[in-house]
Amino acid sequence: MVDVGAKPATPRTAVACGEIRMRPGVLRRIKGRSLSKGDALTVAKIAGIMAAKRTPELIALCHGVHLDSIEVAFSFKRGRLRVQATARAFDRTGVEMEALTAVSVACLAVYDMAKAGDRGMVIGPIYLLEKEGGRGGHFRRGGRP
């Protein structure tokens, strides 16, 4: 692991995005919260939050940070569900991995909830949209990757 012991704790924020593409009928059932397994959005939101909190257990050599908040939100686009996670902390290292992990696991939870209706769903891209804080300063992606 990288030694961050001498770095000052500062406010850190990271926003990650991802999407899962699927058949329109399955997307409508997710939006209407009418899947046979239950409410995919609530399950995915909780899964994403839980995953963000456990990021150092999932990603080798990733520092544990004391998260102040993690938010997971969804929006519907044509043929896909967009997932966005915002992680915030006051710590010595960034929270990009927590935001990216939240998006990844939220997408996987949606897949699990909806796979009976569409096994051909596609997850991705998943990417960092923005980060603030730390020595690296402010980063904002200029468009979708």
Reported as a single tens digit per residue, the pLDDT across 83-131 is: 999 999 999 988 999 999 999 999 999 999 999 999 999 999 999 999 9
Phi and psi torsions of 93, nearest 5°:
-140, 160
The residue type at 77: K
pLDDT classification of 135: cutoffs 50, 70, 90: confident
The pLDDT of residue 3 is: 81
pLDDT score of 134: 81
DSSP assignment string, 62-129: PPP--EEEEEEEEEEETTEEEEEEEEEEEESS--HHHHHHHHHHHHHHHHHHHTTT-TT-EEEEEEEE
State yes or no: pLDDT of 5 exceeds 80.
no
Gap between the Cα atoms of 65 and 97, Å rounded: 10
Query: What are the Cα distances from residue 92, in Å, to 16, 43, 66?
Result: 20, 31, 10
Q: Are the C-beta atoms of 140 and 20 separated by less than 8 Å? A: no
Q: Is the pLDDT of residue 6 over 90?
A: no
Domain boundaries, the chain: 10-133
Which residues are catalytically annotated?
A: 112
What average pLDDT score do residues 127-140 get?
A: 90
Mean pLDDT throughout 70-81?
96
Which amino acid would we find at residue 14? Answer: A
The predicted structure's pLDDT at residue 137: 83
Give me the residues paired with residue 12 across strands.
89
Superfamily of segment(s) 10-133: Molybdopterin cofactor biosynthesis C (MoaC) domain (3.30.70.640)
Structure tokens at 16: 């990650």
Q: How far apart are CA 54 and CA 51, in angstroms?
A: 5
pLDDT tens digit sequence for 7-29: 888 999 999 999 999 999 999 99
Residue 4 Cα distances to 29, 39, 56, 134, 139, angstroms = 46, 40, 15, 11, 20
Q: pLDDT by residue (tens digit) across 45-71?
A: 999 999 999 999 999 999 999 999 999
Looking at residue 9, its pLDDT comes to 87
